[in-house]
């Protein structure tokens, strides 16, 4: 992949203001894509990221939106299209992790997790599909988790949201395969983000002996964006904790 390989493409990254999302935004921009950076609350971080890309000669815009709401998604996609052009790369990265056990998990926790982590993937995918279909080219990458297939430590509601994400990935991939649109997922486990601060004891569970990095997750996303022959697949990143 060269730094100019994505010139002429427009990407939307949800939850793109920090952590894994920000790393993905940076790599897409470095490869030449114009990038719409979605955020829900962290406007300053998203704006700073967009300004940095623009200062380096790229094109980027920060757009605040709750991607679990259809009207907000529609407005976000229209603004990205009007400012950058038709979206043909979508990375569904936005998500929440409400840590709850079986005994204290509430219906509200469950509904909110499914809405943010799973429904948002559906809403954003549906919103950008017309542009991809017009172009007969598209790349959709969904950020899942090792919790989609394992027990995990966040809770069964989180497991369900990520397993559903991988189900959507396969379902869309099967139906869009003849239209030039690929749909894949990346499932990271124990990545060194804000969520992992103070959790150094978890490193002992990882055969490689360290947390993964946001940049390593972004590299997997870029592989999927640049590979036209992979669709319906999930790349697991667990440092050797599990083998699929």
In this structure, what token pair is assigned to residue 161?
């949201």
Cα(156)–Cα(160) distance, integer angstroms:
6
172 is catalytic: no
Residues identified as active-site: 158
């Amino acid at each position: 992949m060269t730094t100019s390989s994505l010139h002429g493409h427009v990407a939307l990254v949800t939850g793109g203001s920090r952590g894994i999302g920000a790393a993905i935004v940076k790599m897409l921009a470095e490869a030449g894509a114009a990038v719409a950076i979605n955020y829900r609350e962290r406007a300053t971080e998203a704006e700073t990221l967009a300004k940095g890309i623009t200062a380096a000669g790229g094109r980027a815009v920060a757009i605040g939106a709750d991607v679990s709401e259809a009207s907000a998604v529609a407005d976000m996609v229209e603004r990205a299209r009007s400012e950058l052009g038709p979206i043909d790369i979508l990375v569904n990265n936005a998500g929440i992790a409400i840590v709850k056990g079986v005994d204290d998990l509430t219906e509200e926790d469950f509904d909110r997790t499914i809405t943010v982590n799973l429904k948002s993937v559906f809403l954003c995918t549906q919103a950008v599909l017309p542009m991809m279909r017009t172009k007969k080219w598209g790349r959709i990458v969904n950020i899942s988790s090792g919790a989609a297939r394992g027990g995990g430590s966040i809770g069964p509601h989180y497991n369900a949201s990520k397993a559903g994400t991988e189900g959507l990935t396969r379902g869309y991939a099967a139906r869009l395969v003849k239209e030039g649109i690929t749909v894949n997922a990346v499932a990271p486990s124990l990545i060194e983000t804000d969520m992992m601060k103070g959790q150094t004891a978890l490193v002992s569970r990882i055969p490689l002996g360290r947390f993964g990095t946001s940049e390593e997750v972004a590299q997997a996303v870029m592989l999927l964006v640049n590979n036209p022959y992979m669709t319906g697949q999930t790349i697991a990143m667990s440092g050797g904790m599990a083998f699929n």
